[in-house]
Structures are given as C-alpha cells and as structure tokens.
C-alpha cells in the first residue's frame, strides 16, 4: 500500500469513509477491544480518524483519546472529524516508534487498524508500545488478509486485480509466495519477542461492494502517472479491462485481528502496585 501524499487527508477521508473495508474493520476492532467510558486510548497510525470515530460509536460516553500519525494532513483531517463530533483529543504528528516520547501516562488500549505491519520496523514499534500499555491493558490491531497466509486462497479485490494484471504482463511485479507471507504463528512469535502475551486471534470476512475496488484505486493507484489524478485515471482504466476476470474470483475482503497484553514479570507487578498504577 502506498503512503498518502501530503495534503490528501480530506481526499482520503471522503473516499475511505464510504468503503466497507475501513468501515467494518474499524467497527469490529473497536467492539472487540471492549472499550469502557474514560479509558485512555491511543489510535496509532490514525489516518483521518476513522478508528477513533468507531471507538466513540462503541463508547458514546467518551474516551481519553490520543491520535498519532506521521502525516500532518491526516492529523488535521482527524482533528476536524473529531471536533465535528464535539470530541476533544490529543494529536501528534510523529513516527509510531516515538510513542514513548509522546505518551507519558500508561494507556488502557492501543488501537491500530490495518497499519502495524506496514511500519518499516514493526518489531521496534511493538517494543515501544509495550512500555506505554498498562499491565492489564491491550494492544488491539488488525491486518489485511490479502497479505496474510490464512484461510486458503487469498481472494481480496485488490489481490485479484494484481493477479490478473501480473498474468497479462501489465504489472512488472510478481505476487509474493504465500509461504513467505505473515501468518498467525509468526506474528504471535514477533509479539512474544517484543514482550507481549498474545490473547486472541480472529479472522473476519467483509463483503466488497461493486465500487469498493475503484475506491481503493482512488486511494492507492496501481499505475504510474505524472500526477496523482493521472495515476488514478490509468488505474481505473486497467480495472475496467479486468472486471470480468476479477468477478470470477468472487472477491471479498479478509482481515485478521489480534489482541495482546504486555508480558509483565513479577518485579514489574510489584513496582506498579507500589506506584499506585494498574
């Protein structure tokens, strides 16, 4: 997935909020996190704030929210969207690995939707996250199943498009070998190595409406162009030539959800207890 260019926060939000993949993955992540009013929650790689909005839908009474993203444009859009709901939050434009410098009080939940394994060094980010989550708190994150070895053949709309175009020789890229993709065991091993105890794993299937893939390409064009508009136009044109072949796959989105808790040793439990912290 290509990163969003500066200044595209509003453009991104207008499209993403219409998409089933974002709407459903955020809703399910927020509900699975078992949020409660007043919890201190970090929305990591927050984008335009869709995860935070889903969390607030799950807990209308309110949360103590901190939103972090590396894009100023995304943070600006997230602030607009939350303020439109009358919600006050804390915002940081920063790399995810800098979380310990930004969040000085331990938090109840860290939410990260469809982004964690796109960080340059997710293991480093996980080690930093462990330091800011309460012993009884949770890291709750989801990943796109398109790049995850689970449930047999991967049939996301985007995967199907890439496969069709690669087989035609239109794309100078090969699909990764499924055996080299992340899987539940490898990710849980990475979590354990970073000091987390895996708690749960879930696989979600999400229907893909007809316009879903077109909207995906509006956000993440697959073709090159002198401008973003040109890249999107070329990508949509390629999609039109491949719709019949893609439909034969009956594609749908697949996401996976993990929850993990800091693995706390006895010394840390005693220190937290005497410090008056949970």
pLDDT tens across 6-26, in order? 568 999 999 999 999 999 999
Residue 241 in domain: no
Distance, in Å, from the CA atom of 95 to the CA atom of 99, rounded to the nearest integer, reads 8
pLDDT at 268 (0 to 100): 61
Decide if 263 contacts 197 (C-beta within 8 A): yes
Residue 165 forms part of a structural domain: no
Render pLDDT for 45-62 as a digit per residue (tens, 0 to 9). 999 999 999 999 999 899
Q: What are phi and psi of 250, to 5 degrees?
A: 50, 60
pLDDT digits (tens, 9 = 90+) for 108-141: 999 999 999 889 899 999 999 999 999 999 999 9
* pLDDT computed for residue 5 by the predictor: 54
71 domain residue, yes or no: yes
Domain CATH for 65: 3.40.50.150
Residues 214-247 pLDDT 10s: 999 999 999 999 999 999 999 999 999 999 999 9
Q: Is residue 153 part of a domain?
A: no
Kindly tell me if the per-residue pLDDT of 175 is higher than 50: yes
Inter-residue contact 39 to 64 (CB < 8 Å): yes
Using the predicted structure, report yes or no on whether residue 2 has a pLDDT greater than 50: no
pTM: predicted TM-score of the whole model, two decimal places: 0.90
**Per the domain annotation, does 222 fall within a domain?**
no
Measured from the Cβ of residue 275, the count of other Cβ atoms closer than 10 Å reads: 8
Q: Does some domain include residue 141?
A: yes
Q: Comparing 141-150, 198-207, 267-276, which segment has the lowest mean pLDDT? A: 267-276
Strands 90-93 and 64-69: parallel
- Total structural domains within the chain: 1
Domain span holding position 57: 9-145+182-208+253-274
Residue whose structure tokens are 């401008």 = 227
Residue 125's Cα: distance from chain center in Å?
14
Question: For the chain, what is the radius of gyration of the CA atoms?
Answer: 19
In this prediction, residue 115 carries a pLDDT of 93
Q: Are 81 and 91 in contact (CB under 8 A)?
A: no
How would DSSP label each residue in the chain? -PPPPTT-HHHHHHHHTT-HHHHHHHHHHHHHTT--TT-EEEEET-TTSHHHHHHHHH-TT--EEEEEES-HHHHHHHHHHHHHTT---EEEES-GGGHHHH--S-EEEEEEES-GGGSS-HHHHHHHHHHHEEEEEEEEEEEEGGGS--SSS---HHHHHHHHHHHHT-SS--PPPGGGS--HHHHHHHHHHTTEEEEEEEEEEE---TTHHHHHHHHS-SS--SSHHHHHHHHHHHHHHHHHHHHHT---EEEEEEEEEE---HHHHHHHHHTT--
In-domain check, residue 221:
no
Mean pLDDT of the chain: 89
| Residue at 214 is within a domain | no
Q: Is the pLDDT of residue 68 over 70?
A: yes
């Amino acid at each position: 997935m290509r990163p969003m260019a500066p200044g595209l926060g509003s453009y991104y939000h207008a499209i993403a909020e219409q998409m089933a993949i974002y709407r459903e993955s955020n809703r399910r992540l927020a509900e699975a996190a078992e949020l409660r009013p007043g919890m201190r929650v970090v929305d990591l790689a927050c984008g335009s704030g869709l995860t935070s909005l889903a969390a607030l839908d799950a807990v209308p009474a309110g949360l103590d929210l901190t939103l972090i993203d590396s894009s100023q444009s995304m943070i600006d859009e997230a602030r607009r969207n939350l303020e439109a709901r009358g919600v006050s939050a804390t915002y940081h434009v920063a790399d995810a690995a800098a979380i310990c410098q930004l969040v000085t009080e331990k938090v109840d939940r860290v939410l990260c939707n469809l982004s964690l394994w796109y960080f340059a060094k997710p293991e480093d980010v996980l080690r930093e996250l462990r330091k800011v989550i309460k012993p009884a708190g949770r890291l709750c994150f989801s990943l796109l199943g398109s790049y995850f070895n689970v449930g047999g053949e991967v049939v996301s709309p985007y995967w199907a498009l890439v496969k069709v175009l690669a087989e035609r020789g239109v794309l100078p890229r090969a699909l990764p070998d499924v055996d080299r993709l992340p899987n539940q065991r490898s990710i849980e091993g990475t979590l354990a190595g970073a000091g987390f105890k895996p708690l749960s794993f879930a696989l979600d299937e999400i229907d893909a409406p007809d316009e879903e893939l077109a909207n995906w390409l509006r956000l993440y064009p697959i073709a090159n162009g002198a401008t973003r508009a040109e890249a999107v136009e070329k990508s949509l044109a390629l999609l039109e030539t491949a719709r019949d072949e893609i439909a034969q796959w009956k594609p749908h989105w697949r996401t996976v959800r993990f929850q993990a808790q800091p693995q706390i040793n006895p010394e840390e439990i005693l220190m937290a207890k005497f410090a008056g912290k949970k």
